[in-house]
Structure formats: structure tokens, C-alpha cells
Amino acid sequence: MKLYVLLFMVFLVIQCSDARYTDWFPQNLVNVFTNKTSKITEYVRSKGRSLKQFYVDNVKSKLTSYLGTDDVEVTKDERFERRFRSYIDDAKATDKKLFDVIAPETMNYECNDEDPSLRMTTPQLIAFHGYAAESHAIVTADGYILTVHRIPYFKNSTSKVSPRKTVLLHHGLLGSSTDWIMAGPDKGLAYMLSEYGYDVWLANVRGNTYSRAHVSLSVDSSAFWNFTFHEVSQYDLPAVIDYIMDKKGWDSKIDYIGHSMGTTVLFALLSTKTHYNKVLRAGFALAPVAYMTDIRSPIRLLASYSNNLAYLLKLLGANEFLPHNAVLRWLSKHACEINKIEEAICENSMFVICGHDAGQFNKTLLPIILSHTPAGASTKTLVHYAQEIRAAGKFQQFDYGPEGNLLEYGSVEAPEYQVHKITLPIALISAENDWLASDVDVTNLYVQLANPIEHYIVPLKQFNHADFLWAIDAPKLVYYKLMQLLAEGVTYSARNKHAQEFT
Ligand SMILES: *[C@@H]1O[C@H](CO)[C@@H](O)[C@H](O)[C@H]1NC(C)=O
Ligand SMILES: *[C@@H]1O[C@H](CO)[C@@H](O)[C@H](O)[C@H]1NC(C)=O
Ligand SMILES: *[C@@H]1O[C@H](CO)[C@@H](O)[C@H](O)[C@H]1NC(C)=O
Ligand SMILES: *[C@@H]1O[C@H](CO)[C@@H](O)[C@H](O)[C@H]1NC(C)=O
């Protein structure tokens, strides 16, 4: 019965594509839909199939699942499974054309394949711009071999001794050290910090382009990819921080700047291995992610299925997050329909998860960004984030289910991170349009910090998650403020109630 109603509605929209009958319905939505509908119509006709049969075969299941009118007797998991299967079958059967007619047009960029920077590593790119660059291999307590990059001193400085002021930059989900330099010497945060007199260290998380090695595990094994941001916070961060302290002397103080997951790992570290609150000087969190109650990223679509780990691992990649193309397309359709952006961006998992802001996006950077991103993440990390969304308001360790938790943690519930144990002075920098770090979640985090420096909201409504790295106006909107906070942040915080601990 419901199917006929739907078919009728679809038919109506096709028939009425010219009519102006919609005072009660946003005209642009109607336009988008009619444009797409006519494209689909053409496509189906060109394939010599009956339109009605096409909708019955292909569109019905998607429409019903969109509108939530699917049969109630099947479980959510079964529905999810079916939905994906049908989507994947569609994509296969139609040679992926089904998506292509729905997706926005491909745009052409002035992209030169000969551009050597597309294949350069972080230190090569840094050197390419005339800066000194170093790579350091660091082994974690659980055997992962990480590569950390460094710009030891500013290129114009006459002294080749690295400054005392030390900053550690930690990239976000699916990112790498390259994130901080792709915008070039004028706008890349790593270069700017170097110019401002910092010894700049750039972390790389286990599993990404630069940290794909282990003392005993094969990179192709499930054991290698069996980690989430929790293990990064427990092993990678301590190893990197200790290494820098060993190099520079234990009296030095490191400023920590994280983006996205780079902030999650900081909060997880400081609330568990609390002595790091005294080791670091201050933390600066760009697009902070801890609580996830108000998420617009398509990652939320996975949240309600995050308890079906086996199935998600199958869809998203058993080890590394390498989603089946069709799955990525399915996710990106949700992302791209919001923004109507170009296909190249829609097909990149980083943009699919984190969003895209056309107004602030420097298209010249697209080739270099696409050639370096996504840099790699474990599927388990994405599932962990999906669990946070499902847990609505709990910032907690990986949930193995009641039995698994009992084995792993000795309790039925996954332990929550004790945010109140974070005493490091921390500044939060967030944006209103951030798909992963919303106002309400960032504010909730801020009020729990023992030594807050400031919660700065980027004064541009459209500013999104990835804009913290590459926006045309990132220096003006974020970095100058960040430099100011770096210069005075701790002094400011010292005026707060826990002042004696930091003097
Ligand atoms: C629909 O297509 C027409 C012509 O191809 C175009 O002018 C119009 O802007 C499109 N509408 C939307 C909402 O994309
Ligand atoms: C660095 O030196 C070059 C060449 O001497 C000069 O053109 C440039 O402005 C200097 N940059 C800064 C930030 O001082
Ligand atoms: C992954 O880690 C969990 C928790 O430590 C453990 O129970 C599980 O056996 C591990 N799986 C693999 C494939 O190593
Ligand atoms: C875009 O990026 C290129 C390459 O780094 C840079 O030369 C250019 O100035 C940037 N454009 C804007 C508007 O920031």
C-alpha cells in the first residue's frame, strides 16, 4: 500500500516538473528533486527499462528507508544490512552509473599531474619551501613505529639551534602531518609557528601514511589495526611527548595543538595518564571532539548500527578504514546533498566525514589535499566515534558489549573518561558549522575543564571542520588568535582558581 503512495508521489513530481504548485514546499528542494528525477528518467529510458519497474527495483527500498516506512517486523540491523546490500547491488548492476547520475557534475580543476608536490612527503614538502625538515622514528610501548616530522627552526633564522619554545601539532581523523603544511608557507600553521619562533613537531598517528609499521605485527594483520583513538592516547602520545622531552630536556614545556581527533586523544590522555597535565604547558583544541550529541557528519548514519561490529567491519573495511566504494558513495550522497559539491570532494572519505565549505575552500589546494588525504585510520576508530554518537553524551572507551566489557574492563559498561581530571590549561576553538564539533558539545566540554583558557568561536558562520587546516582565511579567523592565546594563554589561565598549580 505504502509503495503505491510513494510511486504515486514520485510520478506526481515527474509529471509536475514544470508546474509552480508549491507555496507550501521549498521551491529549491522541488527543483533539485525534479532535476534529479528527470536525469534518472533519461537514464532509465536510455537503458530501455520501464520506469515503473526501475522504481520498484531500485528506488523503493531507498525511499522507504529514507522515509522510515519500511516494514516494522524486521530489525534495524536487518534493514541496514538489506539497505546496503541493495545499494551495493545497484551500484554493481548499473556499473556505478546510478550514483553518477545522481551525483553533481564533475568539475575540472587546473591540476597538473606533473606537479611534484602531489607525490612529496611531509619533509620533502617542507624542504621544497626552503625550510629545514627532520623525520624521527619513535617506537611505542606496544610496538608501533611512528614517524614524527619536525621543522626545527625558522628558515630565515641565523642560528641553527632550535628554539626553546616547542609545539606539538596533532592531526585529526584520516589526516597526517601533511595537513598542517598543505596550505603553503604563507598560510600553513606549521610554517607560521616556525616563523613565530617555535620548534615545530608534527605527529603521525599509528596506521597513517607515515606510521605504518610495527616491530612484530604485519601491517596486513587484524592485530595491527586493532586500535582506536584510545590506544593512540595511551601509547602514541606518551611516546611522542616523552621523546620530545628527552631531546629537549625535561625542563622544557610543550604546547599542544590538536585538530579533531588530535583533540580527542589529548582529552583521553589527560584524563587517564594525569601526570601529562604537568608535562605539557597548555593545550589548544581546534574543532574539539569529545562529546558527540549534535553531529551532522554522515558518520552519524553508522551510529545506530555501531553495536553490530562485525557487520560494520565488513562494510567499512575489516582493518583499515577503506569503505567499499558503494558504501562511501552512500555516505557521501548524504553529505553532498546537503552541500551540492563536486564529485571529487564527494568521493573523498575525509570530506565525506568532515564536511566541506565551498566559500573558504582554496581550489588550488585540491590536488595536493586529495593526493595526501585520507592518510589512513583504523575502522575501529570510526566505529568508536559512531559509538560515542550512539552513547549520546558519554565520552567513553570502546564498547565491546556487556560480556566483552566485563572481560576487557571488569565492568558491564565501557569506562567513561574522567574529564574533570584534566587540569592542563586548555583553549577550545570551535566553529558553528562544524559537522563533528557542535556548539552544545564543545560548550559542555568547556564547562568541565578545570583550567579553561578561553572558548573562542570562529567568527564565520560557514566555517567547517576541515577549514581549520586549509581555509582561505584560516590565518585571519583562527591562527592569529591562536598565536595570541599561545603567547598569553597560560598566564591568563593562571588567574583562575587553580593558579598555584601552574606558577
Ligand atoms: C535545474 O536545472 C536547470 C536547468 O538545467 C537549472 O537552471 C536549475 O538551476 C536547476 N535547479 C537546481 C535547483 O539545481
Ligand atoms: C626570509 O628571507 C627572505 C630572503 O632574505 C625574505 O624575502 C623574506 O621576507 C623573509 N621572511 C620573513 C618572514 O622574514
Ligand atoms: C583486539 O583487541 C581486543 C581488546 O584488547 C581483543 O579482545 C581482541 O582479541 C583483539 N583482536 C585482535 C584481532 O587482535
Ligand atoms: C591558494 O593556495 C595557493 C597554493 O598554496 C596559494 O598560492 C594561494 O595564495 C591560495 N589562495 C588563497 C586565496 O588563499
Task: Enumerate domains of the chain plus CATH numbers.
Answer: 2-57 (no CATH), 116-501 (3.40.50.1820)
Beta strand pairing call for 166-170 and 199-202: parallel
Q: Hey, whose CA ends up nearest to atom 1 of ligand 3?
A: 226
Q: Hey, whose CA ends up nearest to atom 2 of ligand 1?
A: 35
- The catalytic residue among 399, 434, 441, 467 is 434
Beta partners for residue 254, in sequence order: 166, 280
The H or E element that residue 41 is part of is helix 27-46
Q: Hey, whose CA ends up nearest to atom 12 of ligand 2?
A: 156
- The catalytic residue among 260, 297, 349, 430 is 260
Q: Hey, whose CA ends up nearest to atom 11 of ligand 2?
A: 156
Q: Hey, whose CA ends up nearest to atom 4 of ligand 1?
A: 35
Q: Which atom of ligand 3 is nearest to the CA of 404?
A: 7
The H or E element that residue 427 is part of is strand 426-430
**Cα(454) to centroid of ligand 2, in Å?**
33
* Confidence (pLDDT) at 23: 40
Decide: 223 in ligand 3 pocket, CB within 6 A: yes
Q: Which atom of ligand 4 is nearest to the CA of 184?
A: 5
248 Rama class: left (phi>0) / alpha (psi -120 to 50) / beta: alpha
* Confidence (pLDDT) at 266: 98
Decide: 313 in ligand 4 pocket, CB within 6 A: no
* For ligand 2, mutation pick of 153, 156, 193 (most atoms within 8 Å of CB): 156
pTM of the predicted protein model: 0.75
- Name the amino acid, one letter, at 398: F
Q: Is 498 a catalytic residue?
A: no
Burial 222-259 (b: 16+ CB within 10 A, else e): eebbebbbbbbbbbbbbbbbebbbeebeeeebbbbbbb
* Confidence (pLDDT) at 455: 95
* Confidence (pLDDT) at 191: 97
**Cα(156) to centroid of ligand 2, in Å?**
6
Establish whether the linkage from the previous residue to 152 is cis, with ω within 30° of 0. no
Q: Which ligand is nearest to the CA of 227?
A: 3
Q: Is 434 a catalytic residue?
A: yes
Q: Measured on CA atoms in the order 266, 269, 275, 279, is the torsion positive or negative?
A: negative
Residue 61, classed as helix, strand or coil, is helix
Ligand 1 binding pocket, CB closer than 6 Å = 28, 31-32, 35
Q: Hey, whose CA ends up nearest to atom 2 of ligand 2?
A: 156
**What is the block-wise mean pLDDT of the chain (503 residues), using blocks of 10 residues?**
50 43 45 54 52 47 39 50 56 45 36 66 90 91 93 91 94 94 96 96 95 90 96 98 94 94 98 97 96 84 77 81 70 56 64 78 83 88 91 92 95 96 96 89 94 94 92 96 87 50 40
**Cα(17) to centroid of ligand 1, in Å?**
11
Q: Which atom of ligand 2 is nearest to the CA of 155?
A: 1
Decide: 226 in ligand 3 pocket, CB within 6 A: yes
* For ligand 1, mutation pick of 27, 35, 38, 105 (most atoms within 8 Å of CB): 35
Q: Judge whether 289 and 263 are in contact, CB under 8 Å.
A: yes
**Cα(274) to centroid of ligand 3, in Å?**
25
* Confidence (pLDDT) at 107: 38
Decide: 406 in ligand 3 pocket, CB within 6 A: no
Q: Is 100 a catalytic residue?
A: no
Ligand 2 binding pocket, CB closer than 6 Å = 156, 195
Q: Which atom of ligand 3 is nearest to the CA of 398?
A: 4
Burial 394-409 (b: 16+ CB within 10 A, else e): bbbbbbeeeeebeeeb
**Cα(54) to centroid of ligand 1, in Å?**
24
Decide: 221 in ligand 3 pocket, CB within 6 A: no
